[in-house]
Structure 1
Amino acid sequence: MSLSTLQSLFAYKAWANSELFKLLSTLPPNRAEQLHSCVRTLNHIYVVDRIFRSHLSGEPCLFDATNTRDTPLLNQLQEDVNVTDAWYVNYVAELTDSAQFEALSFTFTDGDAGRMSREEILLHVITHGGYHRGNVGEILKSISVSPPRDLYSKFLHVSEPTRREA
């Protein structure tokens, strides 16, 4: 995959997360149970993003499971996700062609050994987040709230309006 595509995908991920957090902040207080489920799911995405960030960077991993025992407040999670999204955007902006194919060995939180290229890790982070944002969308639909249109094609046309020109 080209580095420019990876860069575009991580800009999209940050945009999609921002759109979803914006909507969640407007849920009425009588939807606390559903909001909690949404935050738990988004926290899982965040924790997995951080775990794979540690694999990519060689930093110590702060997590020993794919979610935390306690559920963060929505606004705190949003801040943490924004910081992590910015890290990934910067990471792929500085990634070289040769480095993206480098294989890294690591240990999954369940103790199993893993080995993936940097590119494979990055694609996992993108697809994993998209999958679980879809789970949040289903929770929102169950309470008659339309989720954001989390589409890569929409992001491309919003971020580059000239694509709409003939």
Structure 2
Amino acid sequence: MFASLFAYKAWANASMLEAMLAIDGERFPEQRRKAIRVMNHTFVVDRIFAAHLSGEPNPHAATNTEDTPELPALTESIRAGDAWLAGYARELPPEQLGERIRFRFTDGKAGDMSRAEMLQHLIVHGAYHRGAVGQILDALSLPRPADTINVYLHAAEPWRREHGGVGR
């Protein structure tokens, strides 16, 4: 289940990052910056939880970076992070999903979540923030990409449409 969700997440992130290219930085510098900052936040949180999942030290002191990355660099970072998460979700033995991990949030408070809860958090968190970027695109009258798992599943697995829309 998590493998398909993280494949969806990678697809949705790629679609949103491509749509963000249409935000004219000359005409709408603040909106472009905000959209990049929101997507960068999701990337940073992904990396923080990837560190928790893999037993590595937290690589970030906050849930966003001080500097705003350029969109092409952020796109590459997100693609690499999404590939790592998709691989992790694919390879994680099901019996480890319930394993609890203790960690510290960036505010210093203690946390305790199962691997499954961490993975669920990353899926929901990313969707929430892509929605915020979609609102920026809407406000600029720019097209917003589809960001639903049903659109992804039917694009990734066209056989799902073979029954012609007739229910069982």
In 2, Cα distance between the equivalents of 1:135 and 1:152? 17
Query: Equivalent residue for 2:6?
Result: 10
In 2, Cα distance between the equivalents of 1:58 and 1:80? 20
Is the CA contact 2:137–2:143 (under 8 Å) kept in the aligned structure 1? yes
In 1, Cα distance between the equivalents of 2:104 and 2:97? 19
Query: Equivalent residue for 1:108?
Result: 105
Query: Equivalent residue for 1:99?
Result: 96
Shift of 1:30: 1.5
Unaligned ranges ≥5, structure 1: none
| Superposition map of 1:12-161 within 5 A | 12-28=8-24, 29-161=26-158
Shift of 1:27: 2.5
Unaligned ranges ≥5, structure 2: 164-168
Higher helix share: 1
In 1, Cα distance between the equivalents of 2:78 and 2:54? 17
Shift of 1:41: 0.3
TM-score, normalising length: structure 2: 0.94
In 2, Cα distance between the equivalents of 1:47 and 1:156? 26
Q: Could you report, residue by residue, the CA deviation over 1:88-137 in whole angstroms, capped at 9, with x for unpaired residues?
A: 01101110011111000000001110000000000000000000000000
In 2, Cα distance between the equivalents of 1:161 and 1:85? 23
Is the CA contact 2:99–2:114 (under 8 Å) kept in the aligned structure 1? yes
Aligned length in residues: 162
In 2, Cα distance between the equivalents of 1:27 and 1:52? 29
In 2, Cα distance between the equivalents of 1:97 and 1:59? 21
Q: Which runs of 4+ in 1 moved over 2 A?
A: 26-29
Shift of 1:32: 2.3
Tell me the amino acid that sits aligned with residue 101 of structure 2.
L
- The percent identity for this pair of structures is 48
In 2, Cα distance between the equivalents of 1:59 and 1:87? 14
Deviates more, 1:137-146 or 1:24-33: 24-33
Q: Secondary structure at the match of 2:58?
A: coil
In 2, Cα distance between the equivalents of 1:163 and 1:98? 29
Q: Could you report, residue by residue, the CA deviation over 1:16-53 in whole angstroms, capped at 9, with x for unpaired residues?
A: 00001111123333222211110000000000000000
How well do the aligned residues superpose, as a CA RMSD in angstroms?
Answer: 0.8
Shift of 1:146: 2.2
Deviates more, 1:136-145 or 1:28-37: 28-37
TM-score, normalising length: structure 1: 0.95
